[in-house]
Structure 1
């Protein structure tokens, strides 16, 4: 028993000292305005020493570090205190100012909770006197100055929040403006920028190189794209941007002091609009095989409708019913039922099949052909209006009002149907050619991850989430998108010309026949033929049988005819 107790004590002692033995403390040097790349893990603590030059004009230094996927801890002290000088994030940032700079060195400690090695890049950027301090007026933050961006995202949109900055001061003998009194910092302005990279590519080196193009003021102005208009002190420090899951984006904010005409950059943030750690709807699900298969089938069907849609009018009616019921049911379920996205999509698809059968039954039984042509024209108008608001026209501030936006959108949606309703065959041909060719382009787009699919997706997002109307939706229109848009135009025009030529060549009526009437007439003809065959038994006599003949030997009989 004594031996057991002794072994237990030895084990506990070894266990208590094991972390300190296995922990490794590494010291590195980081030069101002230069990037350093380091490897950290759970048993490694990294100390970065920044040598501050003897330059009395330096007002403050922004310390920042970045990783592609997993968060880590950045701290100004070796002992981590999240409520004073530490932050845990994939893109943490801290500010050092005032008397600390007089010591000649600044320390930044990096720590990871991952067992595996994690690659981190860090940079220290110095700003001169009177430069505005990013995040310098955050009274509710865990740290005194918070230059980091708070980014949250889902497959629909990305929200970027940032804290108010503070006006700069003389590095020699000045002091920052007090935030509580609403002083000079209220005249600062802010501008959000973004930089896109690596579409559906999760290469770590590409991501870590991308943030460097958004780290300094000059780099942001050179590589970044402005998002919306500049924000003032009174504006809410929240910007909503449309998400593209799988698309790498770096966000950053520049704060401007108009009195001294000086800028300062917040800490850039890397995101893909999806999570690397989520088990459901993560980055691995972006561009999944199932999505590509479904869109490929839709693309093939769209290509058939593009060149033969008017001939396949009953089938087009079924597809129209499916689209109407899926769209409306998904919006209603999103508004009134708190179900997951996958459940809503599944239920909407089932209701879409029901709508398809219902549309076909109404067309078959009641032959409301002009009404269905009008419904097809409204789908054409939906695509037309979606294109209009996908263009820079849709980014006008006037459309951020929900009522104005939907009134204008509905008017654009009804425009093609109203103009072409006098020529129902032409309207139906144009609708099937344009919408069918767009379905084909969306199928191809799923393999190259372009932006043309967002023409319709953005409208669905705005219908489901009213606040999305104010979101920034300026997508990059690159060469693959230009090629696909050109192919779409060529296919639509070719489909219209081919269908018009074919209908005139075959001299078919402008509208398809009433299927119920044809079915009823065929049934009547069948009954008439059946009744005639029952009423005329003579027609079923043998052809060689004559009146007065007692018996006639059948062909091939062995009996003698005497």
Structure 2
């Protein structure tokens, strides 16, 4: 696809101060991805100049008469879900070419100055098409120009398990299906079957921390890791049941219950635009704030343990079903907890912006999750 755009001598030149890539003037956006994050890089722009005139020097100074006054707005555009065709991609690429189109259709994620690195990271969304573009703006002349858009699906189109066409692994489907069956039972009957609920809570706590530990410390393959996580989670569940059976200390058990609910509420909090604030790109600030929110929930509800337990059963049980559905049918709601897991597993994920699309799948599952949670809570109260 080739599209011609005209610019005047007042407009900045995207990639006009390229010192890293192959072309002398390189308006392209370079993209690389892995399971955790997608990173875009681009060459700095230069001030505009007339045809036949030498371009302004790129590093002659840092005052307002140089390219250091330029600003870069980074935009993100989500393609329709479950459509990997070239026709759909080309159709939407045309909406991300010129400056007015980009501003009208895409989400502005961040603004960079000339003092910032020309590199931005995003959370990878395997199977979800995303187009990125950058608009360079000259605040002195109030002119702007767009780079060449780049796109990714954060997955491979080669046939096989884990490709764009079949993202869900068999092991994931088995694990989360069994997990969801137990979660669905807990959603509606967990408060009445106390020991079963304790097993479920213990499974979540032990399984989550064990998965992080074994993934960070060993090179074990994903399928084996998931089996070991299931075993460790089962041990954790039985241990919490044994603690209740042997000592009968309600406060300790309810603290575990409240922390699981607090973890999900804290994850939801950082799933909002709040999570993309610059202050939370610092790991120390993020984890302290995240932990405080998670701990606050059991503290607030310690005076009404019945309500805490019922809410946990309804909310956590219904969300486990969402995770199972995601292994078959991709949805943005799974990233509520997946983003936290990614941050715990990858030391560079703190710099990533975690925007996700909220399209038909997400809206449908959100309604279903709210319905399950509400009905589950009401069932326990009746």
Same fold (TM over 0.5): yes
Q: Residue 211 of structure 1 corresponds to which residue in structure 2?
A: 93
Q: Residue 370 of structure 1 corresponds to which residue in structure 2?
A: 251
Q: Which aligned pairs between 1:78-477 and structure 2 lie closer than 5 A?
A: 121-171=1-51, 173-182=52-61, 184-228=66-110, 230-277=111-158, 281-288=162-169, 291-477=172-358
How far apart in 1 are the matches of 2:191 and 2:320? 16
How far apart in 1 are the matches of 2:55 and 2:161? 46
How far apart in 2 are the matches of 1:447 and 1:339? 24
SS at 1:213's partner residue?
Answer: helix
How far apart in 2 are the matches of 1:248 and 1:480? 15
SS at 1:133's partner residue?
Answer: coil
CA positional deviation for 1:305? 0.8
Shift in CA distance, 441/141, structure 1 to aligned 2, threshold 3 Å: closer
Return the TM-score normalized by structure 2.
0.91
How far apart in 2 are the matches of 1:341 and 1:156? 15
CA positional deviation for 1:182? 4.3
CA contact (8 A) 1:201 1:246 kept: no
Shift in CA distance, 480/202, structure 1 to aligned 2, threshold 3 Å: closer
CA contact (8 A) 2:314 2:373 kept: yes
Of stretches 283-292 and 131-140 in structure 1, the one that deviates more from structure 2 is 283-292
SS at 1:254's partner residue?
Answer: strand
How far apart in 2 are the matches of 1:236 and 1:341? 34
Gaps of 5+ in 1: 1-120, 502-562
Shift in CA distance, 163/278, structure 1 to aligned 2, threshold 3 Å: farther
Point out which structure has higher relative CO (alpha carbons under 8 A, 6+ apart): 2
* Larger CA Rg, structure 1 vs 2: 1
SS at 1:283's partner residue?
Answer: coil
CA contact (8 A) 2:15 2:43 kept: yes
How far apart in 2 are the matches of 1:219 and 1:278? 35
SS at 2:15's partner residue?
Answer: strand
CA contact (8 A) 2:12 2:47 kept: yes
Structure having the larger proportion of residues in helix: 2
